[in-house]
Amino acid sequence: MCGRYTLISKPDALSTLLRIDVGAMLPPRYNIAPTQSVPVLRNIDGQLRLDHLTWGFIPSWAKSPAIGPRLINARSETAATKPAFRAAMRERRCLIPASGFYEWKREGLKKQPFYIRRRDGRPFVFAGLWTVWTGENGEQIESSTILTTLPNEMIRQIHDRMPVILDERGWDTWLHPVEQDLKHVVALLAPTPTDNLDIYPVSPRVNSVVNDDASCIEPVSLAPAEPHEDRDHEQPSLF
């Protein structure tokens, strides 16, 4: 899955990547979390637009926005058929810019966070979907979700899913509002190659959404695993 990510690249790098002038729209964010407003690149009437949408997909048929936090991710293998996402897969695909993302590995009773980014340091985009929800009082909320896929060999060591990092060669197909041949679309949703990414452990500070600064992505050293003694010399357990 993808439950936290960063967007800390400089505006000129993002403008080059997204093919649109982002200006000062995107201040550095080191700990983007579900339910927050996130920048999303969409094709609206043939024009690329960078808009801010809620992260957490709220289907048009939902009774309330409360469902959003449960739909921050959509499985790429089933999004085309799931009631919550199938309409968006046909008509409302988007790109979500990022500089890196976090994933957690369970170690005993604890979860150790890791930060994953491109090896060359460049920003990238997640494949995403968006939709519009309208409440009974006419209130409208535009929301988004990040598609996930099977992990590459690197990510597999810590988690069984990873976000879809969409190759630039597939952007036009993904964003094209008329492209509804889902075989072409789904074929784009493959794991990014291991050689493209770096991964390293970071502080548990990222666990709290109130922490949103550069310390979230600073590498930390993991304590070495305690050596196992020969069983003949083990002391009886007290627990």
Q: Give the active site residues.
A: 2, 103
- Tokens standing for 183? 């075989």
Output the CA–CA distances (angstroms, integers) from residue 74 to 21, 23, 64, 140, 200, in the order listed.
29, 30, 19, 22, 25
Cβ–Cβ under 8 Å, residues 134 and 60:
yes
Cβ–Cβ under 8 Å, residues 104 and 111:
yes
The residues that bridge with 103 in the sheet, in sequence order, are 114
Residues 6+ apart with CB under 8 A from 209: 31, 33
Cβ–Cβ under 8 Å, residues 128 and 40:
yes
Phi and psi dihedrals of 172, rounded to 5? -60, -40
Exposed (0-12), middle (13-18) or buried (19+): which is 195, by Cβ within 10 Å? exposed
Nearest residue to 39 via CA among 95, 80, 100: 95
Q: Coil, helix or strand for 71?
A: helix
- Tokens standing for 170? 């597939």
DSSP one-letter code for 32: E
